[in-house]
Each structure stands twice: as C-alpha cells, then as structure tokens.
Structure 1
Amino acid sequence: MSAQLFVVATPIGHLDDMTFRAVQVLKSVDLIAAEDTRQSAQLMKHYQIDTPLTACHDHNESSVIQQLIEKLKQGQDIALVSDAGTPLISDPGFKLVRAAQENNIRVIPIPGACAAIAALSSVGLPSDHFRFEGFLAAKASQRLQQLEQLQQQPHTMIFYEAPHRILACLKDMCQVFGEDRRVGLAREITKTFETIKQMTLGELYQFVSNDPHQQKGEIVLVVAGLTQPVAVTDDALDQLLGRLRQDLSVKAAAQLAADLLGVKKKIAYQRALELDQNSPDQAED
C-alpha cells in the first residue's frame, strides 16, 4: 500500500511560476506537508486547492516524520512544500525525504522555481561548475572563517543572505575575496522590485550602501571563483594600453586591459597613468 512522496517546488515570488503539474499534484494528494501552513494556505487558495495541510518545519520535522511515513505506508500520497522555491534547498524536508528513501517509499520531484538557479542563470558568471553555499554564519568571526575557506575556490559560489546582514556580508567578502572579485546580485527575483546586477564586490558594496532599497527582500549573491592569474609581460600590458588609449579614457582603457589580460584593474590604471605622463601627445581625458 506504500504511496508516493512528492517534493513540489512553488513560486519564489510571481504566482504564475507555479507549474501545471505542481497544481495537479497538490490537488490530487491526500496531504500537504508545508513549512508554514499559513503561508502555503494563501497559495492553495489562489489555485483553489483544498487538500489538507500539516506543518513540517525545522522545529518539528523530527517528531512528525514517523507519522508521515506511516501515512505513506498506509497508501496516502503526500506532497512536501516549503514557503517558496524548491524544498530542501536551504529549507526543511531533508529528514523526511531521507526517511522515505530508507523505507523504500518512492520520492518524486516536481521541478519548478529555485532562487539559486534563477540567480545563476541571470547574472552572467560561469555556470559550468558551481557550489551552493546557502546562508553564511550570522556571527562575523564565523562568517569570515567560512569565507577564508572558500577564498581559493575556483568555481562560482552561490550564497543566500538576509537583508539585515547584506552590508556586513559584502564587507567581509571584500576583505577576504578582494574588491575586484566579480559578483552577481539577484534580489527579489520575479517580484515587483527585482534587481539583477553584476559588478565587482567593491562596486556592489557601494551600490547597496547607497540604496536602502537594496538592503531589503530576498537576496542571492553569486560570486565568481578565483581565477589563476596568467603571466603578463610589462611589454604586453604597455602595448595594449597604448593602443586602447588612442580611443578610450585612462579609466576605460585600464578596465578593458585588466579584463583582457587578467591583471588587477589598479595595476592597469596606474600603468596607464604612467604611460600618459611619458606621452605628451596622448589625448586628454
């Protein structure tokens, strides 16, 4: 009589991101295990789903697992949902899914929205290899320690961050990863005030500091991995800067040279200034 446990993704903001299959499954199961029954009830009302809800969250998951497993063994289909997005991705549900697998109960994923993947797909950083790190520690000392362990990580890293900690987090990332490391900000994904940006960590810290609206809502940070520096000769840098300065300002030429050769922008900028001082015919900025 063993039934099925459906792991159902729900919208992370825009209600139209609910899939047809997800609605069908939630209507057909016998019970929905929800992280927050009050919040899930609003989604169910929107889609006219009257399936009973039961709570399954961080604080009670261990105590309700056996009850849910018994219902599954008795032939009752159950759907697992979190407040938003895909369950288990920085959300409860792992213990229930593990228990279902251990009891040979079929677990069926119903794919849909996931903030981490949505952010990765939209900020324009390498996505062939990536690590999902979830939330960093709330305490600064522990957060710095975690970041230091990731400083040499070559793959793109995805973090969730609480709005009240975003500035402190970015400041720590600047300290550990360096202000020139590329980062993507995906805030309030699919919602009215969505923000999708890519820049350096230093630039993002200033952007968020100067705009209190960017310090609110659901935030995903996508940080580029450490790229191994390529040996660049002084002559190669000088030649490229000399050519770029024929058409671009010092700042623009330095930025483009840094991107093309993989050198630090500060180094390229300083060298461009030195070359300008030695070249009286160079165009004024």
Structure 2
Amino acid sequence: MNFKNTGILYIVPTPIGNLSDITYRALKILQEVDLIACENIKHTNILLKHFNIKNILISFNKFNEFQKSDRLIQELEKGKKIALVSSAGTPLINDPGYILIKKCHLFKIQIIPLPGACAAITALSASGVSTSSFCYEGFLPSKKKLRRSLLNSLKKEKRTIILYESKYRVIETVQDIINEIGANRHIVIAREITKKWEIIYGNKAHIIFNWIKEDQNRYNKGENVIIIDGYKESKNINLSDKIINTFTLLRKVLSLKQSVLITSKIHKTNKNDLYQYAIQHEEK
C-alpha cells in the first residue's frame, strides 16, 4: 500500500496485570512517539512512571472517540508519531480505537501494530479447551433477556467461545449459561490473569456455579474470561453394564488414564469410547 508522507500510528498493547509483561519494543515506542492516546490517563501514567517514561498523554476513550479521532488524524497528517494504548491489553479488543483505525486506512496513514498481552488469548492458551478454532464475543449484554438470547444462539456453536464478564455479573452469567447452553457444558473461569490472585478453573457449568458461590473472593475482584467448550454432536456409546461397572470401580482408586487402559484391556473395548463416557458422566 502506498502511504502518504505522514506520521505513523502505533497500536501498543500494555500489560493486563503484571507490568513485567510489557515488551522492550513497546517501551521504546512509548518513549519515542510524539504523543500517546490512552483510554485512561491515570492508568497509563502509572505504567509510564514505573518505567521512567515521560511523554504527552491525551484522553481517547469511548466517550470522545469520534471527536478525538479527527484531531489525531490531523496530527498524523502533520507527520507526528502516535501510540494508541488501552487501559490494559491490546487496543481495540473490546476497547476504543476502531474509528481511528478506519480513518487511518481512509487517509492512507501507516499503522504499525505491536504484539502483546490479550486476556482472551492468554486465558484460552491455559484453558485446556480446544484452541484450533474459536469465536470471541466480548462482554455479553447487561440486560438479562438480551444476554440469554445471545447465549441461546451460541448453544450449537462448535467453536470454543470466549467471553468477558465483570465481577458484578459473573454469577448471573454462569447461571444463564446453565439455563441456555447446558448445566453439563464444560466451561473455564480465568480470573485476575497475570495478577497475584490469578485463578484458572474448568469444570461443568453447574459445578463452576457452585464453586464461585462458595467463596466471595472468587467473584468480587477483577474481570473474568469465560471460555465455553464448543458444541459436540452426541455420540451413541454402546458399553455393556460389565464394562461400565469395571470402569466405575477402577475410577474409585485409579486415575482416568489408568482406568481406561485397564478396562479396555480386560474387555477389549475402544479406549476413546471410555474417555467419551467419562466426559459425559463424571462430575469432576
């Protein structure tokens, strides 16, 4: 693409908790640009102060994005270099910036994105849920009717589903997942990612619901990433009562892997069928 003789807009991810997660390249850009457009000036100042960086900051958030995008375009056309940052993570992922990026493309202004922290991807990588294909839904609607309607539309989504949820609605949202998607659907709660009290826990939705309610520290701090295992067609598993009894007895004293291996050898049955049976029937 042929760019105008203008400045450059850098999209700069910042840490989602642990300040050590910022890259050397990001620090260099934040030091060298002419100004930084940030979602929250106070929050960004904490980051800059920690790394002894001084620069000009301007507010750029969902309330002033339309107005400030025009101003930033003017500065870029003058040859200025600008860094766009959000409060945490990668800008534009559930944060302001879309309008500015669209205008940069329209006015042929160069955009350079930097790789970095993103809560959704960080949580997904450690979830134990399929990562080969997924969809990102961001924050669900705050109104119950709209939230339930959206979840219901995702009931047969085969890809892994990634959601964000605040501490204020996480219990209610898990309850809605139970009602609309299913009590036995495997989900993962990733809370306070990269921070001191980080928790990543996966189980059936109804077990997660009870687990959260057991301790207020599991829902009264920070934001949550909720990962929902994709829909899978039910498979008819024809296991005899003898096979199931053997497997059940072994599971009381052995690991899942050992129980499957021994049961399959005793009864000469398919190991995958035993694993599938465990997924469908075991609570933990």
Per the normalisation by structure 2, the TM-score is: 0.88
How many pairs align? 263
Alignment of 1:232 onto 2:249: no
**Displacement of 1:261 after TM fit?**
3.4
2: CA distance, partners of 1:264 / 1:246 = 17
Instruction: State the superposition RMSD in angstroms.
Output: 2.0
Q: Hey, what does 2:268 align to over in structure 1?
A: none
AA at the equivalent of 2:218: Q
**Displacement of 1:259 after TM fit?**
4.3
Superposition pairs for residues 32-181 of structure 1, below 5 Å?
A: 32-181=36-185
Indicate the SS of the match to 2:105: helix
AA at the equivalent of 1:247: L
Q: Hey, what does 1:242 align to over in structure 2?
A: 245
Per the normalisation by structure 1, the TM-score is: 0.88
Match of 1:217 among 222, 240, 244: 222
Indicate the SS of the match to 1:42: helix
**Displacement of 1:102 after TM fit?**
1.1
Q: Deviations over 1:2-44 (max 9, x none)?
A: 0110000000000000100000001110010000111111111
Asked if the contact 1:230/1:262 (under 8 Å) is kept, the reply is no
1: CA distance, partners of 2:275 / 2:216 = 30
**Displacement of 1:135 after TM fit?**
0.3
Asked if the contact 1:8/1:110 (under 8 Å) is kept, the reply is yes
2: CA distance, partners of 1:109 / 1:126 = 27
**Displacement of 1:264 after TM fit?**
3.6
Change (3 A) 1:129 1:237: farther
Match of 2:281 among 262, 265, 270: 265
**Displacement of 1:237 after TM fit?**
4.8
Indicate the SS of the match to 2:203: strand
AA at the equivalent of 1:223: I
Indicate the SS of the match to 2:168: helix
Asked if the contact 1:3/1:77 (under 8 Å) is kept, the reply is yes
2: CA distance, partners of 1:99 / 1:240 = 64
1: CA distance, partners of 2:249 / 2:45 = 63
Q: Deviations over 1:95-139 (max 9, x none)?
A: 111111111111111111000000000111000000000000111
Runs of 4+ in 1 over 6 A off after TM superposition: 255-258
Change (3 A) 1:138 1:129: same
Q: Which runs of 5+ in 2 are unaligned?
A: 261-272
2: CA distance, partners of 1:42 / 1:53 = 12
**Displacement of 1:260 after TM fit?**
2.3
Q: Hey, what does 2:264 align to over in structure 1?
A: none
Change (3 A) 1:147 1:49: same
**Displacement of 1:81 after TM fit?**
0.1
